[in-house]
Amino acid sequence: MLMTGALVAGLISVVLGIVLFTTIPRHLGVWRFVQNNLWTEGIGWAPSFHHGIPWGYTWEEFHQQDLTGKTALVTGANSGIGFDLSFSLAQVGASVILACRDPQKCSNAKSKILSEANPKGTISTMTIDTASFASTRAMAQAYAHEYYGKQQPHTTIDLLFLNAGVMRLTDWNRDCPSKTDEDQIEVHFQVNYLSHYLLYRLLEPFLSEDARIIPTSSGSSFQSFSYTVATDLETLHRCDNGHFNLGGANLAYGQSKVALILWVKKLARMLGPDSTRRVNAFHPGLVNTPIVEKILASGNLPAFAANVFRERMSSTAWQSPDGALTGLYLACVPAEKGIRGRYFHPMAQEVVNPASLDEKLQDDLWAFSQDLVKDYLAPIEIPVAEEEEEEPTTSTTEMENGVDTAETTGTDDDNGETGEDEQEVDEEQS
C-alpha cells in the first residue's frame, strides 16, 4: 500500500515536471489544444500557446514599413513594452515622443534608442504621471506648446500609444481601495485607464486625420468584478470585492483593462464608420518585462513563490519586443482592412471579450469617466504663432459632448491651477 502510494506520487511528480518544466507538451501541441478548446481567452498568452499557429503579423512585415514623417507618442515608454514599441517605431523612421513618469529613465531610454535603433526621425521626451490628472493635463499642455503651437507646419500625432500601466499585489483586505495620492481614485483605474481617457480627450485636437489610437489592454480584462466595470464612485471603491487576499487587486487590474476595451468600442462608435481615425486595443501577451519585479515588490509573496514566478516568466513568457508586435500591427495595418473598435492578442489574433460588447456599459463608463475628470477637460491653450490662422482639427468627442472646439485656442479653463505648469521638453535630432 505504502509502495503504491509512493509510486503514484512519483509518477505525478514526473508528469508535473514534464508539463511545467519541459517543452515536450508545447511540441505535442498540448497548450495549443488547451487554448483552442478549454481556455479560448488564453489565445496567444505565451509562446507555448501559440506554437504551431502562424503569426498574424511578423517582424519581417513590420520592417518593410516606412514611417518616416509620422509622429508617435508612447506613454510608459522607458520600460518594457512601451520601450520596445518606441524602439521599433524609431527603427522604421517614425519620430517618437517618449512620455514617462521619471525624466531620468526617459532620458536613458532615449539614449538607448539613439545609439541602437539608428532612428531617422526625432526622439524626444516628455513627463507624465498618469496617477495625477494635473500631470496628465500638464503634458498635453506642454505638447500643445512645444510641438503644435511653436512649429510650422504643426506636428500632429499619428500614433498614440496609451501604454503606461501598473499592477499591484496589494492585500485587498488591508489596503482597500488603494487610491492615488492626489486624486483619490482607485490606483489601477486611474493609472491604467482614466488618465489615458483624459489624455486622449485633451490631445484629440492634435491628432492627425488618420491617427491610430492604441491602448495596451491585457488578457486580465477577462478577470474583472461581477459588474465588469464600476460606473459610479461607490462601486469603484467598494472593499468587499476581493474574495481572497490578492484577488481584489488582481480584479481591480482586470477592471482597468476591460475599461480600456469598453472605451475603445465606445470611441469607435463615436468616431463613426467613416472616420479615418482608428482605435483598437491589444493584449501584449504574458511578457517578461520589468513589471515582474514591480509586481513582486508590491506584494508580500514568500521568497519561494517569488522565485517560481520569476523563473516561469523568464522561461515561458514572451520576450518584450514580441510583446510589442501586436501593437505595431495595429499601428501599421492598412486602413482598407477596416479594423476599428477591436481587441487583439498575440500575434495579431482578434479576440472578443463578451463583457466589452455591452453598449450601455460603454456609454455609462464614458459618462462616469467624463464626470471624474471634468475639472481637467477644458480645451488646451495653444500659443498661436505669428501669421498663423489655422485652427486644430475639430474634436469629435467634444462635439458630441456639446463643447465648441472652435475655442481650443482660448483659455476656458475654469480651474486655473490644473496642469498649466510648463514642462521642459527635451528634443534631439538623431
Q: Which of these, 245, 140, 278, lies nearest to 197 by C-alpha position? A: 140
186 with 177: CB under 8 angstroms? yes
**The binder of ligand NAP chosen from 72, 96, 160, 287 (CB under 6 A):** 287
Taking the complex as a whole, the smallest distance from the CB of residue 328 to ligand NAP amounts, in Å, to 14
Indicate the SS3 state at residue 180: coil
Taking the complex as a whole, the smallest distance from the CB of residue 21 to ligand NAP amounts, in Å, to 20
Q: Which is nearer to ligand NAP, 130 or 156 (CB)?
A: 130
Residue 427's Cα: distance from chain center in Å? 24
Strand ranges (E), 234-331: 278-279, 281-282, 287-288, 318-319
Q: Which stretch binds ligand NAP (CB under 6 A): 7-15, 20-28, 122-130, 420-428?
A: 122-130
Q: In the 8-state DSSP scheme, what is residue 160?
A: E
Which single residue is written with the C-alpha cell 507538451? 25
**The binder of ligand NAP chosen from 248, 284, 327, 346 (CB under 6 A):** 284
263 with 197: CB under 8 angstroms? yes
Any contact of residue 131 with ligand NAP (CB under 6 A)?
A: yes
**The binder of ligand NAP chosen from 105, 237, 310, 312 (CB under 6 A):** 105
Indicate the SS3 state at residue 416: coil
**The binder of ligand NAP chosen from 35, 125, 155, 163 (CB under 6 A):** 163
How does strand 71-75 pair with strand 157-162? parallel
Any contact of residue 218 with ligand NAP (CB under 6 A)?
A: yes
Any contact of residue 101 with ligand NAP (CB under 6 A)?
A: yes
Any contact of residue 88 with ligand NAP (CB under 6 A)?
A: no
The whole-angstrom separation of Cα 143 and Cα 97 is: 10
Q: What is the dihedral of CA 292, 294, 298, 302, to 10 degrees?
A: 40
263 with 215: CB under 8 angstroms? yes
The whole-angstrom separation of Cα 400 and Cα 397 is: 5
Any contact of residue 127 with ligand NAP (CB under 6 A)?
A: no
Residue 161 φ/ψ, nearest 5 degrees: -100, 115
Q: Which stretch binds ligand NAP (CB under 6 A): 168-176, 224-232, 279-287, 350-358?
A: 279-287
**The binder of ligand NAP chosen from 48, 155, 170, 216 (CB under 6 A):** 216
Q: Which is nearer to ligand NAP, 291 or 372 (CB)?
A: 291
Any contact of residue 136 with ligand NAP (CB under 6 A)?
A: no
Any contact of residue 250 with ligand NAP (CB under 6 A)?
A: no
Query: What string of DSSP letters covers 331-388?
Result: HHS-GGG---S-EEETTTEE---GGGG-HHHHHHHHHHHHHHTGGG-SPPP-PPPTT-
Any contact of residue 259 with ligand NAP (CB under 6 A)?
A: no
Q: Which stretch binds ligand NAP (CB under 6 A): 164-172, 201-209, 395-403, 407-415?
A: 164-172
Return the CA Rg of the chain: 22
- Grid coordinates of 393: 482639427
Kindly report the number of other CB atoms within 10 A of residue 47's CB atom. Answer: 19
Q: Which is nearer to ligand NAP, 264 or 270 (CB)?
A: 264
Q: Which stretch binds ligand NAP (CB under 6 A): 19-27, 118-126, 287-295, 393-401?
A: 287-295
Any contact of residue 346 with ligand NAP (CB under 6 A)?
A: no
Taking the complex as a whole, the smallest distance from the CB of residue 124 to ligand NAP amounts, in Å, to 16
Residue 138's Cα: distance from chain center in Å? 20
Per-residue string for binding with ligand NAP, 54-83, x by CB under 6 A? ----------------------x-xxxxx-
Q: Which is nearer to ligand NAP, 241 or 316 (CB)?
A: 316
Q: Which is nearer to ligand NAP, 160 or 270 (CB)?
A: 160
Residues that bind ligand NAP in the complex, under the rule CB under 6 A: 76, 78-82, 100-102, 105, 128-131, 163-167, 191-192, 216, 218, 283-284, 286-287, 289-291, 294
